[in-house]
Structure 1
Amino acid sequence: MDGEKALEKTNRINALFDFYGPLLTDKQQTFLKCYFHDDYTLGEIAADFQISRQAVYEHLKRAEQVLEDYESKLQLADRHGRLHAGIDLLESQIAGLPEQWRQTFAETAAKLRSSE
């Protein structure tokens, strides 16, 4: 896997973990945090937990699949992305308004952004 795709995957797993992490088992949470957040290698995780690299790999793959399954059913991360893209567009449109209208609309956009 090239660097750009690896970074994209890491960002996706971290985003899904933000939404669905509490629904994973403790072991799945720990392994995902170690691998995707703390940048441990499979070997380092295996050594820390006294299991094989293959077992770590299988735990990670299963946890990734569970996260993807939750997202396919609930689509919280996708909704979050669409919402923030819409707010970004709204804010750029507000910037083009006459000065006397900007403040009120900017406050509304800020409320939308902070509502999550």
Structure 2
Amino acid sequence: MTEDRILEKTNRINLLFDFYEPMLTDKQQAVLKLYFHDDYSLGEIAEQFKISRQAVYEHVKRAEQMLEEYESKLLLLTRHERRLKLLSEAEELLLQSPGDLADRAADYMRRIVHME
């Protein structure tokens, strides 16, 4: 796997984790935080939990699968990304609008973004 793909996967897992963290077990949450957020190695996590590296690997893989399953059913990340894309497109259109309209619309967009 290339470095770009690894970074892309890490970013996706982190985003999924932001949406679905409460749906994971405490252990899954802890392992994913250490592995993806804090960049711990499998060995470092294994040492901390007093389990094998293989067990840590299996915890990470299972948690990743759970996150992807939740996303396939609930689509929270997909909808979030779609909203951000639409807001970006709207912002581009507003830049081409007369000043007063652009200012008012930009204010609405800021309010929409901060609702999440």
2:43 — aligned with what? Answer: 43
Quote the Cα distance in structure 1 between the aligned partners of 2:57 and 2:100. Answer: 57
2:80 — aligned with what? Answer: 80
Pairwise CA RMSD? 0.7
Quote the Cα distance in structure 2 between the aligned partners of 1:73 and 1:50. Answer: 34
**Could you list the runs of 5+ residues in structure 2 that have no partner in the other structure?**
none
Q: Is 1:94 equivalent to 2:55 in the alignment?
A: no
**Could you list the runs of 5+ residues in structure 1 that have no partner in the other structure?**
none
1:111 — aligned with what? Answer: 111
Q: TM-score, length-normalised on structure 1?
A: 0.97
Shift >6 Å, 4+ stretches: none
Identity percentage of aligned residues: 55
Q: TM-score, length-normalised on structure 2?
A: 0.97
Residue identity in the other structure for 2:80: H
Aligned length: 116
Post-superposition shift, 1:115?
1.6
5 Å-filtered alignment, 1:25-40, equals: 25-40=25-40
